[in-house]
Structure 1
Amino acid sequence: MITGIVLFFFGQGPIKGFATTLIIGIVISFLTAVFLTRMMLEWYANRKNAKEVSFTTKLTSSWLRNLNIDFLGKRKIAYSVSLFFIVIAIAGLAVRGLNLGIDFSGGRNYIVQFEKPTNTEDVRKPLNNTFGDASAQVISLGTNGDKVRISTKYRIDDNSQTVDDEITEQLYNGLKQFLGDNTLNEFVKENLVNTQKVGPTIADDIKVSSVWAVLISLLLVSIYIFIRFSDLGFSLGAMASLAHDLMWILGIYAILWGILPFSMEIDQSFIAAILTILGFSVNDTVVVFDRVRENQTLYPKRDKKQVINEALNETLSRTFSTSMSLFVVLIAIFGFGGDTLRGFIFALILGTILGVYSTLFVAVPVAYDLIERRNKKKAIAKNAKK
């Protein structure tokens, strides 16, 4: 909900619409889960011929139950793995950088559909001559090779009324060898699927607002965790987990853009995906923290490490069930949702996987280490006073 509200206030255009849909979905999901589902179960239970309702099958009745995995005992190994990949991510960001979309860099996007598969390098060469010093970037969309996205900053500062039509005509002339006998009008109607223009001033504003959106989301989530659990250790553990997920995803996008056969641009949709990921990840973390607090209340004399490990094992089934449900839906959208959605969905898929890992091996272990270090300092200070 927090990330949805931040997206609504900082997003623009379709991102604001996405945020609205996200908020409405969360509210409706809450109402149906808390009230409608309970009402239906009570109605069924009050029937004379009601039978016992089983929420598992023979196959899943023992799924991830009665486990005794020492998550905290493996935390140093997990820290090393996370640090290793974060270093790789930083190297990727430093060497290759991110592929900024025109939302952040300014420019024009043209999505062009050809009748036959074409090579992106063959398309790019004549366009570089057409657009002069402003080079053109050509990315293949989909797996058929007959659709490309052409990006350029050519005459982006030109605000004359005829500039868009002039550039479209230049684009047509540059691509004429791939269009057969199509005229300019036929090119616009049949081949030119979509056009987009973002000026440099607007791009800078969008970039700044997107950074603020991410930072404010992290801050609000941190405050929420602190208020809910009244412990700075839990709050910092959640923040470490979210920062970990963010670095991994940025690193993967820096390393793989231009290699995978779909767009991996950093644009407003990517920011929406990042904030959605952060919301999902912290939701999973809150569930585990809740169980930790509950177990600490039930067993105050037990060793804290044992209590936390039990909480992680007890919630593991729920964690994998919710994550797998989301993962299956995302895979379906990734496969059948169209080319323009794949970069957005790919970020969500990465976030779903990383969210599970970071909850188990980053958020809770970091919170445990911070709380233990604080308790040791208090014990040393108390002994010093004696």
Structure 2
Amino acid sequence: MRLRLVPKETSWDFFSKAKLTLGISGFLMVLALVSFVIQGLNYGIDFRGGTTIRTESPQPVVVAEYRAAMEALELGDVSITEVFDPSFGPDENVAMVRIQAQDGEEAVTNETIQRVEEALLALDPQMTFPSVESVGPKVSGELIQTAIIAVVLAIAAVLVYIWLRFEWQFALGAVAALVHDVVLTIGIFSELQIRFDLAIIAALLTIVGYSLNDTVVVFDRVRENLRKYKKRDLKEVLNLSINETLSRTVMTSVTTLLALISLFVLGGDVIRGFVFAMIWGVIVGTYSSVFVASAILLVLGVKRDWSKPDNTSGNQFGAVDP
């Protein structure tokens, strides 16, 4: 007996309330932008600047104990990660303690660094501090700029790819869905004030790829059905295509979410922000591939030029493989 999350055959009308779904998406995007303008993001050390202290000890690293010692100092965003390396001996236990720059200061002061070292030495008197590195505000500003460029270039590359693979209407629909996903993800991080660092940028780029994959699967079926049902209305073809790919879309999203939720619960604080971004991205990405990308395509329409052979019908670059 095979597991099915949706019936084998469905005939749901995904565009009966297209104006409502697009309106909700637009409203949520406006809220996200307003939250971003008013509250901003809770930037982590990568974007705010700070100091990284490398510790080494013959005793095993217990992150919970390190974190408890840091919380007593009230230093704000402190990230603690254990460093694993095959070359390390049994008495080489290394951790990285990252402290954000305090309000009104361009860098972590020597006094703050000394307080941190004293708190850690209270846990383990044999602990040493081989290196202390600081990230200044200039470098952090460059990281923000680079991160923005990376996301914009990823979306631009998607626009070109879909334009070549399908037609410009498909490209605009896909890019609208990606912008929708990225804006809502940034909005939820702004609203909840979850720490925003380079790992979240990696999550945004992953979300772009995931959402694009879902959208391309639907658009491929749309193109096939446009050739197969030449006299059907575009709305009917879109509904048929989404229903035919719905089982695959839901199964992919649910299995991905199962893994992500497990990581969110069991993975620890270090990756929790990244995993939360991925969970949110999978949800809004699945939604946008059905209710945003396809709805935009319905609004723009598709040129159906049946004078061309089937393998390039309605698409001058139809022979280009993904």
**TM-score, normalised by the number of residues in structure 1:** 0.64
**Corresponding position: 1:95 with 2:47:** no
CA–CA distance in structure 2, aligned partners of residues 116 and 205 of structure 1: 29
CA–CA distance in structure 1, aligned partners of residues 115 and 73 of structure 2: 14
**Corresponding position: 1:279 with 2:222:** no
Instruction: Output aligned runs, 1:20-31, within 5 Å.
Output: none
- Is the 8 Å Cα contact of residues 172 and 184 (structure 1) preserved in structure 2? no
CA–CA distance in structure 2, aligned partners of residues 78 and 362 of structure 1: 8
3-state SS of paired residue (1:108): strand
Q: Relative to total residues, which structure has the larger helix share, 1 or 2?
A: 1
3-state SS of paired residue (2:196): coil
Cα offsets for 1:303-359 (capped at 9, x unmatched): 111011000011000001111111111111112222100101110111111111001
Cα offsets for 1:166-198 (capped at 9, x unmatched): 65323345x5xxx7xx54972855xx9x97632
- Is the 8 Å Cα contact of residues 233 and 368 (structure 1) preserved in structure 2? no
The answer for the alignment partner of 1:168 in structure 2 is 113
**TM-score, normalised by the number of residues in structure 2:** 0.76
Match of 1:334 among 260, 264, 269: 264
Whichever residue aligns with residue 202 of structure 1, its letter is: V
CA–CA distance in structure 2, aligned partners of residues 86 and 322 of structure 1: 25
What's the Cα RMSD here?
3.2
- Is the 8 Å Cα contact of residues 108 and 156 (structure 1) preserved in structure 2? no
Whichever residue aligns with residue 181 of structure 2, its letter is: D
Cα offsets for 1:265-298 (capped at 9, x unmatched): 2222111110010001011100000000000101
Match of 1:237 among 173, 183, 186: 173
The answer for the alignment partner of 2:94 in structure 1 is none
3-state SS of paired residue (1:123): coil
The answer for the alignment partner of 1:253 in structure 2 is 189
- Is the 8 Å Cα contact of residues 51 and 107 (structure 2) preserved in structure 1? no
- Is the 8 Å Cα contact of residues 123 and 138 (structure 1) preserved in structure 2? no
**Corresponding position: 1:64 with 2:1:** no
The answer for the alignment partner of 1:227 in structure 2 is 164
Distance 1:59 1:212, change over 3 A: closer
Percent identity between matched residues is: 38
Instruction: Output aligned runs, 1:293-332, within 5 Å.
Output: 293-332=223-262
Instruction: Output aligned runs, 1:194-209, within 5 Å.
Output: 197-209=134-146
Q: How far apart are 1:73 and its partner, in Å?
A: 1.9
The answer for the alignment partner of 2:101 in structure 1 is 152
The answer for the alignment partner of 1:123 in structure 2 is 73
Whichever residue aligns with residue 266 of structure 2, its letter is: F
CA–CA distance in structure 1, aligned partners of residues 231 and 219 of structure 2: 18
The answer for the alignment partner of 2:295 in structure 1 is 365
- Is the 8 Å Cα contact of residues 51 and 101 (structure 2) preserved in structure 1? yes
- Is the 8 Å Cα contact of residues 70 and 116 (structure 2) preserved in structure 1? no
Distance 1:98 1:114, change over 3 A: same
Distance 1:296 1:195, change over 3 A: farther
3-state SS of paired residue (2:9): coil
3-state SS of paired residue (1:73): coil
**Corresponding position: 1:74 with 2:5:** no
Q: How far apart are 1:370 and its partner, in Å?
A: 1.1
- Is the 8 Å Cα contact of residues 110 and 151 (structure 1) preserved in structure 2? no
Alignment gaps of 5+ in structure 2: 55-62, 81-96, 305-322
Paired residue total: 278
Q: How far apart are 1:241 and its partner, in Å?
A: 0.3
Whichever residue aligns with residue 168 of structure 2, its letter is: L
